[in-house]
């Protein structure tokens, strides 16, 4: 008798990646491991709706991301938000992935606790849960209480284990404390670059080299 093929498990880590750093990349690897994902799509926002314009063009941020990922198994630099016009709404990104993967796949959107705190302000936040699960990654220095709107949005959705989450294709919220919590932020990386200070070991070396070669992030 043939064994049923288990549904695909796909993670999504969106962000500005302005620029990508080891906090993003290490989290993506540990997320893949913690949830036994087949792959993790890292998707740079062309035009993030809730923040100012990133300092570097979308295609360049994607190139830095691809360089940072290199040949890391299971991590994918996904250009899909660059191919769309207008603001980069995550709900559209998840809808396009869901269409590609079909209804049975487990689709898991991951985001850091800082980004999670603003989730209720996103475009059509309740629709996100029809399309994907949410994994909230603990970040050092970000531990504020949830707003009433956010608490209402995730009410009844929280689960305690990955197994529970994987019982269905979408709709649950899981908090994850990944083993390596790196207090690296792109803001700090940009500040250091603009001030001519070292960013060694905050970024993959190939990413630092390209930034220096192209003279990116020299001003704030």
Q: How far is the CB of 85 from ligand ATP (least distance, A)?
A: 21
Single out the residue of 72, 91, 96, 114 in contact with ligand ATP (rule: CB under 6 A).
114
Pinpoint the alpha helices (H) of the chain: 22-34, 58-69, 90-101, 113-116, 125-131, 148-154, 162-165, 186-194, 205-213
Establish if 101 lies at the interface with ligand ATP (CB under 6 A): no
Is 202 a binding residue for ligand ATP by CB under 6 A? The answer is no
Q: Which stretch binds ligand ATP (CB under 6 A): 30-38, 64-72, 77-85, 181-189?
A: 181-189
The alpha carbon torsion through 183, 187, 193, 199 (nearest 10 deg) reads 10
Instruction: From residue 155, give the alpha-carbon distance in Å to each of 84, 115, 178.
Output: 32, 18, 23
Of all residues in the shown chain, the one whose CB is closest to ligand ATP is 112
Q: Applying CB under 6 A, does 137 fall inside the site for ligand ATP?
A: yes
In angstroms, what is the minimal distance from the CB of 220 to ligand ATP?
12
Among positions 106, 108, 185, 216, the unique one binding ligand ATP when judged by CB under 6 A = 185
Q: Is 82 in the site for ligand ATP (CB under 6 A)?
A: no
Helix-helix angle 22-34:58-69, to 10 degrees: 60
- Judge whether 189 and 21 are in contact, CB under 8 Å: yes
Question: How many angstroms separate the Cα of 148 from the Cα of each of 60, 144, 145, 164, 214?
Answer: 38, 12, 9, 25, 45
Rounded CA separation 171/205 (Å) = 38
Closer of 69 and 184 to ligand ATP (Cβ) = 184
Interaction of residue 125 with ligand ATP, rule CB under 6 A: no
30 scored as a contact of ligand ATP (CB under 6 A): no
Task: Check if the beta carbon of residue 25 is closer than 8 Å to that of residue 204.
Answer: yes
> In this complex, which beta carbon is closest to ligand ATP, that of residue 7 or of residue 188?
188
Number of residues that bind ligand ATP (CB under 6 A): 18
**Which residue in the set 37, 75, 76, 115 belongs to the binding site for ligand ATP (CB under 6 A)?**
115
Sign, CA dihedral 32-154-105-101, equals negative
User: Which spans of this chain sit near ligand ATP (rule: CB under 6 A)?
Assistant: 15-18, 23-24, 27, 111-112, 114-115, 137, 139, 182, 184-187
């Amino acid at each position: 008798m043939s064994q049923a093929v288990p549904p695909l498990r796909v993670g999504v880590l969106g962000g500005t990646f302005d620029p990508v750093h080891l906090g993003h990349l290490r989290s993506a690897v540990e997320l893949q491991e913690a949830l036994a994902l087949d792959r993790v799509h890292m998707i740079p926002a062309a035009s993030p709706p809730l923040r100012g314009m990133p300092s570097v063009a979308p295609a360049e941020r994607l190139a830095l991301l691809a360089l940072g990922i290199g040949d890391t198994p299971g991590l994918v630099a996904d250009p899909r938000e660059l191919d769309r016009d207008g603001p980069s709404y995550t709900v559209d990104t998840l809808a396009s992935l869901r269409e590609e993967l079909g209804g049975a796949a487990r689709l898991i959107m991951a985001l850091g606790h800082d980004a999670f705190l603003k989730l209720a302000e996103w475009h059509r936040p309740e629709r996100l849960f029809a399309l994907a699960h949410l994994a909230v990654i603990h970040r050092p220095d970000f531990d504020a209480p949830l707003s009433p709107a956010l608490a209402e949005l995730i009410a009844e959705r929280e689960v305690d284990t990955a197994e529970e989450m994987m019982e269905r294709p979408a709709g649950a919220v899981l908090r994850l404390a990944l083993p390596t919590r790196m207090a690296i932020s792109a803001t700090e990386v940009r500040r250091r670059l603009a001030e001519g200070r070292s960013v060694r070991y905050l970024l993959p070396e190939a990413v630092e080299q390209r930034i220096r070669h192209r003279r990116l992030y020299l001003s704030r």
